[in-house]
Structure 1
């Protein structure tokens, strides 16, 4: 009779728990469906490999070795323990174990897994409250899952232990932990042992069902959504943005001005976020005191989607529905007009850590530095984290229908602070795409509302009128060629490579030196090349990253027409931004040409012996990875191989290099806009370079070169630490000192 009652109660409780869990998941699914339908490329093989490597291989999580190992233990521990949970439930209902071959070995594995999971949970608690990592949130909500795990593991052990006691079994080496319970409770009456067993069994079941119901209502929804998100990730190149159909006559707006304007896969990102803070920890904007935090960008939009979705679908997101009718999440405070709130509120602890000579900045606080942001560690995300903590919350003053995505949820300062470096996405263990969302928000501001920072607007107007961001005459584009043998496409119609110089290499005095060095090397190697001369225009990267999709597409189509006119088959450029646009974005509009970065071609020429570095360049060189060359396109080794081929050169790596390299601050159109908040990104990156005591900071990007040159000037070390492009260093070794 008892077994029947037990079974009926189990069906009732488990059925209610599963029903409520499915209901919560379905409600959030209905919110995601408010977004636009996403068009995905099939690429089943690539998607499957991503799922295997990132979900089962934990590839992204292991970028942080400590927390990665902790998560691996948790992940595989819970997979093993699901079989253990089934065994425990079956045992309590039927008195039988799962038919697992070698059950005693499984029993040992189960208890060992429980022990390891408890250690992992303890370490997770320590990381949050002992190490106090700035990227991790603290409080009862972020910590609730640790208590769930702790009590669930105890319930497993007590259920196993009291099962042994009630069955009169002795301690066993195959049950090392539950045997301790056997030893402690041996000799108690059989009825008492049965009562304790069923109490533990029901505790295990209730905690398990409560945990399952809690998961989709918390950040731990990623346990369900992350694998789906990773499988459905965009398989386009990292450097390719989504295009807009500007000819759509039915479109009421362009870009994203409402949460439902995002595609459904983008909204799935919001529920996949685990709030680990790795994205914010690597973000150059957050690290230098701007208001942008990629993690909070996602979580704020998630809160907004949940509340708006609940209002639109009339489906409550919570069980029980405790939040009914109490307002909506909005920004309760905004940064001042200069966006300096986070840096001005920098913690005293962070300021105290900035000790001269230890990697911090040694300049004293002065009248020109009232916030003290120079006198601090090289980077610090705490001010930004703190601002978001106190600025985001519930209000009863606004109904969710009156909350604007841009303004009430995401500020324009956040939108324009992004350098599009994609370090956030490279670090994200659940495949979230932050940059595309920011660009979509920019597109709405620019194309629909006509809003853009003044400097950015000026740059785009100049590009539209004169083909360059400064507004200099189109006819001056080829002035850099004076005194060099540089054939144009008209003079050399049978060229192999079109050297696309770009605006920086054509007009900027510092970048022109790089252009001329590269041309000398091409001539020395006997490369058959040509340039467009005054027919060249900008690639459109700057307008596109600033949100002006119309201007980008116009330039793109005009450039492709010119390339087709001159039968261009191969393009080489010294600008990673141009390289990325031509390689990843132009093919969608019809470009059919091989695209190389100048370091790739130079490496090839050196390896083939067509360029011979023979003169010693006795310098200690650290190389700065351009985001658009390295993280976007995987070109990490070509520049380094060139430097290693230079006799006398010593290559030293910064702490943040290759995939983890920090942005110089110029990407995403930021090259043409002033930084009004916090510390300058290029200054922070220069300080990171100076930590390895170089005599030369090298780069392979005209934007990076400019930013790092300015950084050395701000530090007052421009005489002792030079900034040079890879082409300049190679030219110095091939031709000798100038």
Structure 2
């Protein structure tokens, strides 16, 4: 007997008109549910997120069907992916049954669900159904019994989990009752391939055939109506992410990571800056609220949230949705609150882990722009004073520009404008120029370059802050003033190559300045040193060093530079004890987003939390690559009581100690 089965057994082909009517009605309600949200998205400002369609399609396919971003958190992510794949296979199986029963068989007498293909079909669908049931139970246990802290559970979570579980179970029940009548005794060999429904078939064995048939008809319709209910509920519950999240992969920002819109400050028609109402956001920022799964991964990774600040990136996204879909005229800044907005370090940990490609950071930055440019607000008086110092002296310390190059005493450095030629321009930055601890880094880097035969030049008193702290605090006006001054100066000296020891300067010069016409090559010193060592230009004598290494946010998550500094340490003879949170999962020092200028008044210090992670490795030395990180860690060691446990060194210090230099 050929392996196959009768489709519509016991219910008959006469059910198809009603079945398709209900199916189309359900899909119509589902489509209407999504359509009614369209006007809310369109409240936002226009934005083209359908360019480079081939690239966007690749991102969509990889993340939707590969569940790449979902699986980055292993246990719940893998469970979710297995459920998705199982449910997808069941859906494909249902489509194949429909195609044969209602199209190829009646129109062309073509049946493909038979023989070996049918056996494989049964194995795959039964395995998929069992996997979906088990993962749904696992996800349910996590959400309702062992719920992690911060995971919010609403009414639709109960409805969704129960509905999906009952749909899956009744599917096996329908199959099992049919098998009890048609296969269990007549063709037991075939019944074994339907191993998911087989227990139900045995349970129904021996019951009166009329009762079996009546039970089958009831279960068939019950299962079908549950499936239609599932379709109807999609746009009205969290199930909407089945469509909104994959679509958000198409809408992802293809610009370099961390890109910020550069405001045209010369536009006289513009009356406001930043965002106070949802209509001032782009449609994508509003749409993100519907794409959010409320999985809280962003919240779990947020250093501000983890140290007792009120900032939850997930809640910010949800609040944008609450205002957009519930009270569009409400002031969004007041809804989110200032303490939340100023707590962000712009580390991008939230966006890196988000499985839905939601853009958290720029939402916060746009609201900060409103506070800074429209209301003149900053996190505290100390920040206001620093901003005033930037305007007058080009640095946050209020030190005269003439002293910007004083750190170079005794070094053979060229100063642009004084006639000497140089190979690379060292953009020093404010902290390496004026902060005593970071001045040592500048001197060390300069000595390393000299040892490699590289002539280094600096701008000296003509250099001003790159503008990054001001920009991240929302002060776009001051940022552009500083940026244009630096660009004009470097272009005036025809600078072709820039190296910086600050990841914030690196990110700003290499990416943000492009919007303002800057074209010179920009490199961070970690990759610069890595290449010098690889080319044999530095005579490194390895010495043992037991250390741990901190991936700064603006070098790691923003620029994807993880390997180069580790290669440098390896060449120096260092043994790295990695922290639990490293590479793209690294924990912020607390100095990003302009927070380097602000007092940390709420919760515990982020720097102390990170120093604690470093000390937990048992390594006596923490190696940093950023002046903000170095400063924050020096403070965190003192305030956290880690003086006897760990010290901080900059990567340039580690390298210099292993070079044969006079003195």
**Structure 2-normalised TM-score?**
0.92
Query: What's the counterpart of residue 548 of structure 2?
Result: 622
Aligned equivalents of 1:149, 1:18: Cα separation in 2: 17
Equivalent residues of 1:493, 1:566 under 8 A apart: no
Equivalent residue runs for 1:77-476 within 5 Å: 77-86=86-95, 99-100=112-113, 102-167=117-182, 170=185, 171=188, 172-308=191-327, 401=329, 403-407=330-334, 409-453=335-379, 454-476=381-403
Please point out which of 701, 705, 710 is paired with 2:635: 710
Distance 1:59 1:531, change over 3 A: same
Higher mean C-alpha displacement, 297-306 vs 163-172: 163-172
Aligned counterparts of 1:183 and 1:543: Cα–Cα separation in 2: 72
SS of the residue 1:31 aligns to: helix
User: 462, 475, 479: which is aligned to 1:552?
Assistant: 479
Q: Provide closer, same or farther for how the CA distance between residues 184 and 573 of structure 1 changes in structure 2, counting only shifts above 3 A.
A: same
- Partners of 1:2 and 1:112 lie apart in 2 by 26
Aligned to 1:593: 520
CA contact (8 A) 1:290 1:677 kept: yes
Q: Structure 1's 416 and 716: CA in aligned 2 closer, same or farther, altered over 3 A? A: same
Query: SS in structure 2 opposite 1:621?
Result: strand
User: How far apart are the structure 2 equivalents of 1:141 and 1:526?
Assistant: 66
Q: 8 Å contact 1:92–1:201 — kept in the other structure? A: no
Q: CA deviation at 1:93?
A: 8.1
Matched residue SS, 1:595: strand
Secondary structure (helix, strand or coil) at the match of 1:734 reads: coil
Task: Give deviations 1:254-308, integer Å, cap 9, x for gaps.
Answer: 1111112111122221111101111000000000010000111111222222214
Name the SS for the 2:657 alignment partner: helix
Bigger mean CA offset, 584-593 vs 482-491: 482-491
Deviation at 1:34, TM superposition (A): 1.2
User: How far did 1:8 drift?
Assistant: 4.1
**Cα distance between partner residues in 2 of 1:686 and 1:663:** 11
Does the aligned pair in 1 maintain the 2:304–2:606 contact within 8 Å?
Answer: yes
Count of paired positions: 643
Aligned with residue 459 of structure 2, among 507, 532, 557: 532
Q: Within the alignment, does 1:646 sit opposite 2:575 as a pair?
A: no
Residues 493, 24 of structure 1: CA spacing in aligned structure 2 closer, same or farther, 3 A cutoff?
farther
Going from structure 1 to structure 2, the CA distance change for 1:626 and 1:140 (only over 3 Å counts) comes to: same
Partner residue, 2:595: 670
User: How far off is 1:210 after superposition?
Assistant: 1.5
Question: Contact 1:6–1:93 at 8 Å: present in 2 too?
Answer: no
Mark the CA change 1:661 to 1:545 in structure 2 (over 3 Å): closer, same or farther: same
Task: For residue 528 of structure 1, report the CA deviation from its aligned partner.
Answer: 2.4
Conservation of the 8 A alpha-carbon contact between 2:429 and 2:466? yes
SS in 1 for 2:618: coil
Deviations 1:181-227 (A, max 9, x none): 22222344443333222211222222112222222222221110111
d(CA) in 2 for partners of 1:277, 1:514: 39
Pairing 1:712-727 to 2, within 5 Å after superposition: 712-727=637-652
Q: Does 1:23 align with 2:32?
A: yes
Counterparts of 1:53 and 1:104, CA distance in 2: 29
1:518 equivalent to 2:445? Answer: yes
Aligned residue in 1 for 2:22: 13
> SS of the residue aligned with 2:659?
helix
Aligned to 1:580: 507
Aligned residues of 2:414 and 2:420 also touching (Cα < 8 A): no
CA contact (8 A) 1:615 1:734 kept: no
Cα distance in 1 between the residues matched to 2:581 and 2:170:
44
In the alignment, is residue 607 of structure 1 matched against residue 534 of structure 2? Answer: yes
- Give 1:176 deviation, angstroms: 1.0
* Deviation at residue 91 of structure 1 after TM alignment: 9.1
Distance 2:208 2:270 in 1: 76
**Is the contact between residue 414 and residue 422 of structure 2 (CA under 8 Å) also seen in structure 1?**
no
Q: Distance in 2 between matches of 1:83 and 1:100?
A: 13
Deviation at 1:462, TM superposition (A): 1.0
Residue in 2 that maps onto 1:56? 65
The answer as to whether partners of 1:279 and 1:423 remain within 8 angstroms in 2 is yes
Whole-Å separation in 2 of the counterparts to 1:41 and 1:28 = 20
- Structure 1, unpaired ranges of 5+: 310-400
Q: Normalised by the size of structure 1, how large is the TM-score?
A: 0.83
